[in-house]
Amino acid sequence: MPTYEKEAASFIHDLKEVYKSEIMKQFNLYAQGEMVVLIYLMHHEEEPSLPSEIGKATNTSPARVAAILKSLEKKNYISREMDLKDRRKIRVEITQTGKEKALHEKSIALGRMEKIFAEMGEEATNQLINSVETFKQVSRALYAKEHQQKESENKHGTQS
């Protein structure tokens, strides 16, 4: 089996460089924090969401969700109301202003990505998309396998 140490090191280096780039900083504004919560709420606007649901769906800690919701509420992007059936629960809804902000930021992010893909061309774009999908599937499968092995080792009292 061939070794991919050089390729792995080069790939990690390149990912760091891409991550530091201005385009990724702008993309991260859309893909993290407040925007990811707004996008979630926009896609789940048929009924109010609980902060715990938002946290789980966005992989965000309860403390971070609380801070994000507080900030979004100050900007009038969301509203929060106590659940009438269970007063311990708070229901969160996106406002029209929040929808407009989310759609605007989504449009900017997609426009930037579209420009990059246009420069790359159809073939390179499709190769990249397919490679990222393969990478995602393989890395998820490997993580699941490693996680399963660790759980098995912990059950049997053996640690590596």
Q: How far apart are CA 111 and CA 105, in angstroms?
A: 10
Are 147 and 94 part of one and the same domain? no
Task: Kindly report the pTM of this predicted structure.
Answer: 0.73
Q: Same structural domain for residues 34 and 57?
A: yes
Q: Do residues 90 and 126 both lie within one domain?
A: no
The string of pLDDT tens digits covering residues 85-133 is: 888 899 999 999 999 999 999 898 889 899 999 999 999 999 999 999 9
Answer whether residue 73 shows pLDDT above 60: yes
133, 116, 112, 136: which is closest to 124 by C-alpha?
Answer: 116
Same domain as 100, residue 26: yes
pLDDT at residue 158, rounded to an integer: 55
Q: Are residues 87 and 13 in the same domain?
A: yes
Domain shared by 79 and 135, yes or no:
no
* Domain around 114: 5-120
Of 134 and 148, the structure prediction assigns the larger pLDDT to 134
pLDDT tens, 29-56? Answer: 777 889 999 999 999 999 999 999 999 9
pLDDT of residue 89: 92
Total domains, the chain = 2
CATH number of the structural domain spanning residue 31: 1.10.10.10
